[in-house]
Amino acid sequence: MERIRSNSPCWCGSGAKFKRCHGNRRLLQRAPVALGSVSPPRPVPDHIVRPAYVAGDATPPRTVQVQDDESLARLRHACRVAAEVLLVAGDAVAPGVTTDDLDAIAHDAYVERGAYPSDLHYNGFTKSVCTSVNGVICHGIPDDRPLEDGDIVNIDVTAFIDGMHGDTSATFAVGDVDEPTLALIETTREATLRGIAAVAPGEPLRRIGEAIEPFARSRGFTVVREYGGHGIGEVFHAAPHVHHHVEPGDDLPFRAGMTFTVEPMLLSGGTSFTQADDGWTEHIDDAMPSAQFEHTVVVTDDGAEILTVTADGASAAGTELPVSGGRVA
């Protein structure tokens, strides 16, 4: 798949040039997101078990996470809770709702299920989800800025329960969002599922980036190189580092039982970004929107299975590849 050029016919089949259709930068451009004020951390009832890092204790080594039947059952539970919390929080997205409101809704949803929000007091983060609006590529801190009609917001949920972390995220449209930005969202969703579909035992880790990056470029988007997926299970952020761009040296073979995240961030403009003074929020420098989706997956005997789904197999991040129509996991 070739990178689309601005004067090429748009990938959507409209017949218009890309730069006047889905590549229209004037439609994509929006004002930089101003940071609001952040409310205090929300309390977690004492009976809910915390990860070791919350008390400042050492975490287990960040080695590749491989599950047996017993540990996979516990990880499935954590991932199911994460999928449920993401659906609850995503349902609340609307103009006028603040990202702090989303944090409160997600927080209650974790606690109702007996789970600890893994983000809370992780390396000094003080909220229960990350919320990244428009040109914030990741790690946005929920605050009192009301979502505006036409915004997009990624909600990143990680649930800790039964000694396991389950991690998932999705990007949601706020009210009426323009078509080029909706295409960014749907391309990122599809890129995530294509990356997951490329996983198979014995194949090298780079298959994920090989599935994601050329697809993103064919639609005029770029893939963030500085952030990747990660091994997950007993440890929140473990090996391997999962690149979403093509990295020829990524030759670690997948093997059955390995668990990690696939979570590409796609950009619609330039690729340089700057961290805000809060030490977390990553703002893209040209204020063009970025989107992200994330699933936690396990390598199976013949592919990969998405773990971050509800008991009914649902997920706000999607599980079905639109092009093939086939279920990925």
Binding site for Zn ion (CB under 5 A): 10, 12, 14, 21-22
The CB density around residue 287, as the number of other CB atoms within 10 Å, is: 17
How far apart are CB 293 and Zn ion at their closest, in Å? 21
Residue 78's nearest CA partner among 149, 162, 15, 18 is 162
How far apart are CB 305 and Zn ion at their closest, in Å? 34
**Which run of H or of E encompasses 184?**
helix 179-197
Sequence-distant (6+) residues with CB within 8 A of 227 are 137, 138, 263, 265
Order of strands across the sheet with 273-275?
Answer: 136-138, 282-284, 273-275
Pairwise CA distance, residues 138 & 28, whole Å = 18
How far apart are CB 11 and Zn ion at their closest, in Å? 6
Residue closer to Zn ion by CB (options 77, 219) is 219
Confirm if 303 and 199 have CB atoms less than 8 A apart: yes
> What are the backbone angles phi and psi of residue 170, rounded to the nearest 5°?
-150, 155
How far apart are CB 18 and Zn ion at their closest, in Å? 7
Residue closer to Zn ion by CB (options 10, 177) is 10
Residue closer to Zn ion by CB (options 14, 63) is 14
Residue closer to Zn ion by CB (options 27, 38) is 27
Q: What is the DSSP string of 63-118?
A: PPPB--HHHHHHHHHHHHHHHHHHHHHHHT--TT-BHHHHHHHHHHHHHHTT-EET
How far apart are CB 26 and Zn ion at their closest, in Å? 14
Residue closer to Zn ion by CB (options 8, 39) is 8
Residue closer to Zn ion by CB (options 14, 275) is 14
Pairing of strands 152-161, 116-117: antiparallel
How far apart are CB 178 and Zn ion at their closest, in Å? 12
